[in-house]
Amino acid sequence: MSYLRTNIDDKGVATVTLNRPEKHNCFDDTLILEIAEAVSALASNPAVRVLILAGEGKSFSAGGDLSWMQRMANYTHAENERDASQLAEMLRVLNEFPKPTIARVQGAAFGGAVGLVSCCDIAVGTTRASFSLSEVKIGLIPATISPYVIQAIGAR
């Protein structure tokens, strides 16, 4: 089952929606690949004029799925490297999307979700939107998303 919905309207507005509201649209290795594939396909579609990245439900995205992170703790070095490369590739294809990108943020945008927002050209948030690099609370650094976050908000 896919946790990603993609739609292109008749005006060329493509919407990619994280559709896992019961888990606050957290992502794992499968969803990361789906996002990268969807964004890559939309990049090469001449009918697309703009891309909106959205989340279904009360949260934009809680970032990485904790059960996925627990699985990763038992991965080999090679498996962890592959996982990190896939996350980096997803962020790269979104960041380099050849047309305008808009993050539509409601509720929480935590951890890796801040990276997704930072890769978009424009971020529009509701009054209930909140942003956090929450992984630092459990001893992880936001290394993969940091270049995009710094690019979006500045080094200070």
* 3-state DSSP of 40-106: HHHHCCCCCCEEEEEECCCCCECCECHHHHHHHCCCCHHHHHHHHHHHHHHHHHHHCCCCCEEEEEC
* Higher-confidence position of 156 and 151: 151
Does residue 115 or residue 143 have the better pLDDT?
115
> Which pLDDT does position 150 carry in this prediction?
82
Which pLDDT score is estimated for 66?
A: 82
Q: Mind listing the pLDDT tens digit for each residue in 66-118?
A: 888 778 778 889 988 998 899 999 999 999 999 999 999 999 999 999 999 99
- Please report, for the chain, the start and end positions of each structural domain, with discontinuous segments joined by +: 4-151
CA trace torsion 39, 82, 92, 59 (10° rounding): 60
| Mean pLDDT, residues 38-65 | 97
Q: Is the pLDDT of residue 156 over 70?
A: no
Task: Calculate what percentage of the chain has a pLDDT beyond 90.
Answer: 70
135 flagged as catalytic: yes
Catalytically annotated residue among 34, 37, 79, 135:
135
pLDDT at 9: 98
pLDDT at residue 153 is higher than 90: no
- From 3.30.465.10, 3.30.360.10, 3.90.226.10, 3.40.640.10, which CATH number describes the 4-151 domain? 3.90.226.10
Supply the mean pLDDT for the chain.
Answer: 92
Q: What is the pTM of this model?
A: 0.90
